[in-house]
Chains A and B, each alone.
Chain A
């Protein structure tokens, strides 16, 4: 019951058992094992992107489904008409709203990823340094919230952060503030929501990197004259680097396309691209525009992430 860290992405080729399974005897059982998941993914994962791409080139229409067809033909008249509409893409670049949304998503995801790292590090460090029996308990304390509903965890913060919520009431009661703070429906609430939701994704890879670290390295550094703060930055951080990278990717990736957190905790001016796509689809019912937003998102956000992650995986495989 663990969240997969970066190492799980390593390609597991080069198995010694390979030859029995495939090269020697291509039989139907083996073929089915390969074909069933491949065909499923081809139909329900790959082809959909082609469909999205196709629809992003059509125009919105008052019809069911609400978009025009790219191809029109009449066989008797020997007439085929291909109509490609690049308007959606042009509009994406003309209206700064979309560009702002992409940039703002990256900004919010980056800041929250950094905050998550700050919060997660002491926790991971403490767990890695505690006794094995306490370790298991603390680890499951970190993981446990992950298994409860994501939606309800975000919701919990709504009650916590709202004007007459527990945080404001406590601060007012303690006399630290005399006006309730507006925290809900701000970017701040979105950061909190992301940090809170994805904390386990950061703690676990950090923990597994720190746990492998040899404590005598720190003693050696101190023996050679490094103060604790110095040896932390010169020894601990470099040793934990693979965990830091894996953790940051695990947080950044879902955060950048997040919909629920900005929808519940963010304000109307909290721009995130996932939310824009949602609104385009559900509120404006503009399927072609939503498709264009998705395609651009795929190219500028998802593809780079996949490339970075792949190179990560290869490095770890060495």
Chain B
């Protein structure tokens, strides 16, 4: 099998110029998966709209989006279940056009797991290896090794219906990994698990990915899942990737209102640019009832309508005026929700705008306890907010 599509695991260490930088930040790094201007139409409906994306070796890339955003269609095109209407998909430099799913060096973990109900756990995991004509003894050994890795070695003889949801999930994972694919596609891998199990499994997934050095592409609608798992996130909406960035950047530097609102919660103030300098902008916002000052420049024109995005946890709240000239507004506490680790305040500004503020509960009993109808001052640092033009 000289043309085996599976990667050689011994061949993991590649000469990398600058190991401190991730591949996607290095100039001229070869992408492992290249999606070039891919469009997919179902009749009149455009599910995926001219997407171009490079994913690098050993990445754990998350496609994040709501239902109907096209993320699953993109994944199915990678697996070969759908053919792009136009554009190219290259995996490890090979154009995938016309290559049927059973010939691709790609495996998929299905959202429903799609375990064969008539086969035992072992037979499910062995299914792919047998199709490849791997010798029986090797099949046995590799299946056992894989089941041990997902801690199911003792359940090999069971049928899928005799397993719990979490166990099924791990069988599905083992089955999709046993062929040592170059690329593993995961469709909502944790979606069917309850919250606690999901948290545990997230870290397990990361460990396995790092251990095997397989490139993962994960589709999910769960932003927390994407934040924890991903090396990079591609946020999708209406068939387009709106932003591709590392989890931290997606959260702290969203490039659009859609991304800012989709990931986490955010306060948005509409305003007009009044001063536009290379290292700061000043924005007049009626909603905020004054001027907002942001200490990093953006490409915008004076008088342009923009939005200032401010995360609730970046806002300080207190009854005393912090004496800050910029970025300080007055409001009245309308609602307080005590959530254990933090408290959420809804504050109404004089303009009528509602602002959400979250504060960690540092001490059991905080000195200055806020209550309903308190007049409060909201303030934040000059580098806490982001100006959004889109």
Contacts and interface: CB of A to CB of B under 8 A. Distances in A.
B81 A16 contact: yes
Q: On chain A, which size bracket covers the interface? A: under 10
Contacts of B101: 20
Nearest to B98: A24
Contacts of B100: 20, 24
Interface string B67-103: 0000000000000010100000000000000001100
Interface in A6-52: 16, 19-20, 24
Nearest to A23: B83
Contacts of B83: 19
A20 B100 CA distance: 8
A298 to B, nearest CB: 38
Contacts of B81: 16
A20 B102 CA distance: 11
A20 B101 CA distance: 9
Nearest to B83: A19
A20 B80 CA distance: 10
A226 B100 CA distance: 60
A203 to B, nearest CB: 30
A19 B100 CA distance: 11
Interface in B171-223: none
A24 B97 CA distance: 12
B111 to A, nearest CB: 14
Nearest to A19: B83
Contacts of A16: 81
A30 to B, nearest CB: 14
A20 B83 CA distance: 11
Nearest to B80: A20
A265 B331 CA distance: 90
Contacts of A19: 83
Nearest to A17: B81
A227 B343 CA distance: 52
A16 to B, nearest CB: 7
A211 to B, nearest CB: 23
Nearest to A24: B100
B137 to A, nearest CB: 32
A16 B100 CA distance: 14
Interface in B223-267: none
A34 B101 CA distance: 23
A13 to B, nearest CB: 14
Nearest to A20: B100
Contacts of A20: 100-101
B31 to A, nearest CB: 28
A16 B72 CA distance: 14
B164 to A, nearest CB: 23
Interface in B41-83: 81, 83
Interface string B16-41: 00000000000000000000000000
A24 B82 CA distance: 12
Interface of B: 81, 83, 100-101
Interface of A: 16, 19-20, 24
5 contacts: A16-B81, A19-B83, A20-B100, A20-B101, A24-B100
**In the A-B complex, the 5 residue pairs with the closest CB atoms:** A20-B100, A24-B100, A16-B81, A19-B83, A20-B101
